[in-house]
Structure 1
Amino acid sequence: MSTPLHCDVAVIGAGTAGLAAERAARRNGASTLLIDPHFNGTTCANVGCMPSKLLIAAAKQAERIRRSDLFGIRVDGLQVDGAAVMQRVRDERDRFAALTRQQIKALDPATRVTGRARFAGPTTLELDDGPRIEARAIVIATGSSPALPPPFKALGDRVLTNESLFELKQLPTRVAVVGTGSLGLEFAQALARLGVQVTLLGKETTLAKIRCPRVHRALLAMLKRDMKVHLGVDVHPERNADGVRVRWSSKQGADGSAQVDYVVAALGRPPNLEGLGLGLGKAKLKLDKHGVPCHDRQTMRCGDSAIFLAGDAAADLPLLHEASSDGAIAGRNATALPAEITVKRHVPLSITFTDPPVASIGQSEDEAAVTGTADFDDQGRARVEGVNEGTLTLYAAAPEGTLIGADLVVPAGEHLAHLLAWAVETGCTASRLLELPFYHPTMEEGLKQALRSICAATPIALPADHDAGAPSGG
């Protein structure tokens, strides 16, 4: 048997969370080992954020051209070259992925261990082909993979996930997108605007987990312009000679079917934890009903063990910025063990890059004492740009009208979402935001209506100059 390797902190997985954990541990004085079977870069660069946004960017460009008549600009004979679209997606994706691999390659080779790890004990790892690793603490950052239930897996190469969609050499003619989370909505709208006939199907009755019914209605209406949408349905796909026959049914009797070339399965991404030996026999961790180790999100520590989780493996918030934060917290706490460093997590922020974007920030209407809503149908800058649609709802706490969250589907939504997240995290009130400068004409002025509604419903008076300058509509 080969001599075991020893380190202070071993990190399983070299994705966004794992790289952040290794870096945090090393910068805090720990000796580290980073273990991965491939060292092929991050999910974001390879099959996630970046290739999906490249597809969305192509769809947005096509939509701009279709809408150009509004501005008196005639563009005849729009053609979408599906092969060229997909080639650019792959070319740019490969460029992003190569950059992440270069960052990994720059790490000390002595700290990189190629192989699949599993627990042989609470602080001992064994590899499928290599020495044992003895560590003072271990961070699990193994990421996630697309969920593919048996009926979908049986479709073979006629089912696509975010890990295979971008390999298409040509855009298909007809697809069914199953799943109404962020990934499903982004794929469905992008493909539809690139000329693909799309049927969007979801078991849930709510799109992208939007909490405000008014915002949800606005998004649903927008999506229905580009595709057929069926919510609250069970989906039954079956492969045939022409592709896939997809049938759906609901308790309300809303049954139907469609013949498609492919099914795009956007059914979530469960964590990659199988084979690690996490149960009581090896790592001796308590697992929840989904098989995920129970952990403290403030420290990312699993119970009183020397094991920490980070990123998608933790199954908390599967978002890149959260994965990076998880990794930094886990790496630092793994180094500090047995001391614990508790951090205040950032306000929850999720963005779906539809057009217009969807975002959810902080707490919801259930926790709010008062809400304020703004419609963008007649918002000045939005109307100038020809994108005047959508709704925004702010949630605030009494009695000061302190902002606690928001839901929105509005133009420039990704930027407004950041502003609102910062406002929530810093404890801003609606009144205080109205005292700040609003340049005219901008999308940011669209916030005023909702902020004024909150002020009017709380004991805090409106700022004296809240009506100064041009109104948000013009």
Structure 2
Amino acid sequence: MKILNVDVAIIGAGTAGMTAYRQVLRRGKTAVLIEDSHYGTTCARVGCMPSKLLISAADHRHAIAEAPKFGVNVDTSTVEVDGVAVMDRVKRERDRFVSFVVSDVEGFDADTKLWGTARFTAENTLEVGDHTQVNAKAFVIASGTSPRTPAALQELGDKLLTTDEIFYWDDLPKSIAILGTGVIGMEIGQALHRLGVKVTVVNRSQRIVGIQDPKVAENARNVFSEEMDIRFDTQVLRAERQGNEVQLSLQDAQGAESLLTVECVLNAAGRQPNIEKLNLAAAGVTVDAKGKLSFNAHTLQVENKPIFLAGDVNGLHPILHEAADDGRIAADNAVNWPIAPQAPARRCPMKVVFSNPQVMSVGLAFSQLPADVRIGEVSFTNQGRSRVMLENKGMLRVYADKNTDVFLGAEMVGPSAEHLAHLLAWSAQQQLTIKEMLGMPFYHPVVEEGLRTALRNTHSN
């Protein structure tokens, strides 16, 4: 067996792992990058980019359906969605994005890459496949996540799908049940619905795309339920294959049972860290009954070991730019080991859901707000530019410290949320006050005028 000695061993060649690899080399240390699945990030391959390609197709179909409301008469009965063509573009463009990432990895020094499954054999030693022993001073685990499969669905075979499969479709299905109202469930569910697929979304609770503010969450439930069949507080009791279809037995909050027959099921109800093959016990690391590790959320260090978690695997911020930041933090702490790990300042938290209307959150989450908070809100129902575009749905709530007037964060469902999220994240990171934000220019007529209204309302309560 070949023996390789390096300063830092990095497991996983996604966004966090690639960033960590580059950072270690930038710091003048030696590294090895280990992968056993795919070169290319989750974002490019089965996440952000292919989902936006599907959403873009759905947006064009929806615009045609909405055209008569503007006096633009279109015979919508003759509009055909060519599922094969839709998925062909999704796959072609997806493969183009992936090729850029793969090209980056292929450009790395061949002597610093290993292909195979990594497993610890001691605190400072890995075996990769059956061919290489890696001795390292520290490790960055950036192995990502995989979909979690509920027990009730495990007998469905190829009728049970995850995002690992749907972006390889050759055509769109006729019907689908989507389990989960998280980001994946709502983005994919609405896109498929607008492309003519009969979609039923099932969720065990009232939660929707991670919104914490109860008023914004209620508004979101109402807005999305107007368009789609979403069954909140509903669980799957049984799932059976019946020929080329799947029959789900559902139970609602009142205990009433119903049957749902669909062509396939998309499991979007959660993911789990890819750590089961790592044999972490050999490194002296404890994995709890739920398959989770104890680690410092600020330094990313696992227990007191020379091991650092970066990217989706740590479950903190499953977003590309956050994964890249994780990679840098983990790499720096791994390079400096055994010097005490550092916890550098993070960027302002920001999340965007590319549904329609969009959803965003920035800054402190609702559960993190202090008791002495002022809240301003605005409805987009009668907001000028939103009505012009017939996108007048949703609401925005902004939070400010009652004593200092400093802007703390916001949650929103509504038009142009991806752009408002950036304005507000920048404001929060600079710790601007509401007064300072209101002193900025607001053009007319724009959706941002709704933001101005919400900011003003923090001063009136």
TM-score, normalisation: structure 1? 0.93
Matches of 2:295 and 2:2 in 1, distance apart? 32
Output aligned runs, 1:262-301, within 5 Å: 262-279=264-281, 282-301=282-301
CA displacement 1:113-166 (0-9 Å, x = unmatched): 111110011110012221200011111111111111233221111111101112
1:371 corresponds, among 355, 370, 375, to 375
Per the alignment, residue 410 of structure 2 pairs with: 406
CA displacement 1:315-362 (0-9 Å, x = unmatched): 222222221111110011111112233201222222111011111222
Per the alignment, residue 453 of structure 1 pairs with: 457
**Aligned pair 1:324/2:324, yes or no?**
yes
Output aligned runs, 1:229-240, within 5 Å: 229-235=230-236, 236-240=238-242
Per the alignment, residue 53 of structure 2 pairs with: 54
**Aligned pair 1:444/2:436, yes or no?**
no
Matches of 2:210 and 2:257 in 1, distance apart? 23
Matches of 1:255 and 1:434 in 2, distance apart? 52
Equivalenced residues, count:
454
Output aligned runs, 1:37-436, within 5 Å: 37-76=36-75, 77-235=78-236, 236-279=238-281, 282-339=282-339, 340-366=341-367, 367-368=369-370, 369-436=373-440
Paired amino acid for 2:443: Y
Q: Sequence identity of aligned pairs in percent?
A: 40
Matches of 1:102 and 1:364 in 2, distance apart? 38
Q: Secondary structure of the residue that 1:163 maps to in structure 2?
A: helix
Q: Is the 8 A contact 1:177 1:188 kept in 2?
A: yes
Q: Secondary structure of the residue that 1:222 maps to in structure 2?
A: helix
Q: Secondary structure of the residue that 1:96 maps to in structure 2?
A: helix
Per the alignment, residue 17 of structure 2 pairs with: 18
Matches of 1:288 and 1:398 in 2, distance apart? 41
Q: Is the 8 A contact 2:114 2:128 kept in 1?
A: no
Q: Secondary structure of the residue that 1:52 maps to in structure 2?
A: helix
CA displacement 1:221-272 (0-9 Å, x = unmatched): 2222332111111113221124011121134234322110011110111110
Matches of 2:270 and 2:366 in 1, distance apart? 25
Deviation at 1:288, TM superposition (A): 4.4
Matches of 1:176 and 1:38 in 2, distance apart? 28
Ranges in structure 2 where 5+ consecutive residues have no aligned partner: none
Q: Is the 8 A contact 2:438 2:452 kept in 1?
A: yes
Deviates more, 1:33-42 or 1:163-172: 33-42
Matches of 1:294 and 1:153 in 2, distance apart? 29
Paired amino acid for 1:222: V
Ranges in structure 1 where 5+ consecutive residues have no aligned partner: 458-474
Q: Is the 8 A contact 1:33 1:113 kept in 2?
A: yes
CA displacement 1:363-422 (0-9 Å, x = unmatched): 234424111111111111112222111111112211122221211011000111111111
Q: Secondary structure of the residue that 1:75 maps to in structure 2?
A: coil
Structure 1 36/243 Cα, relative in aligned 2: closer, same or farther at 3 Å? Answer: same
Q: Is the 8 A contact 1:431 1:455 kept in 2?
A: no
Matches of 1:37 and 1:270 in 2, distance apart? 17
Instruction: Let me know the Cα RMSD of the aligned residues.
Output: 1.5
Q: Is the 8 A contact 1:373 1:391 kept in 2?
A: yes
Matches of 2:221 and 2:151 in 1, distance apart? 29
Deviation at 1:65, TM superposition (A): 1.1
Q: Is the 8 A contact 1:311 1:326 kept in 2?
A: yes
Deviates more, 1:217-226 or 1:2-11: 217-226
Matches of 1:118 and 1:364 in 2, distance apart? 37
Q: Is the 8 A contact 2:248 2:261 kept in 1?
A: yes
Matches of 1:127 and 1:365 in 2, distance apart? 44
Paired amino acid for 2:293: P
Q: Secondary structure of the residue that 1:221 maps to in structure 2?
A: helix
Q: Is the 8 A contact 1:151 1:238 kept in 2?
A: no
Q: Secondary structure of the residue that 2:145 maps to in structure 1?
A: coil
Paired amino acid for 2:319: L
Per the alignment, residue 6 of structure 1 pairs with: 5
Q: Secondary structure of the residue that 2:138 maps to in structure 1?
A: strand
Matches of 2:150 and 2:174 in 1, distance apart? 24
CA displacement 1:278-305 (0-9 Å, x = unmatched): 12xx111233453322111221111221
Matches of 2:105 and 2:356 in 1, distance apart? 34
Structure 1 255/418 Cα, relative in aligned 2: closer, same or farther at 3 Å? Answer: farther
Q: Is the 8 A contact 1:63 1:193 kept in 2?
A: yes
Paired amino acid for 1:427: Q
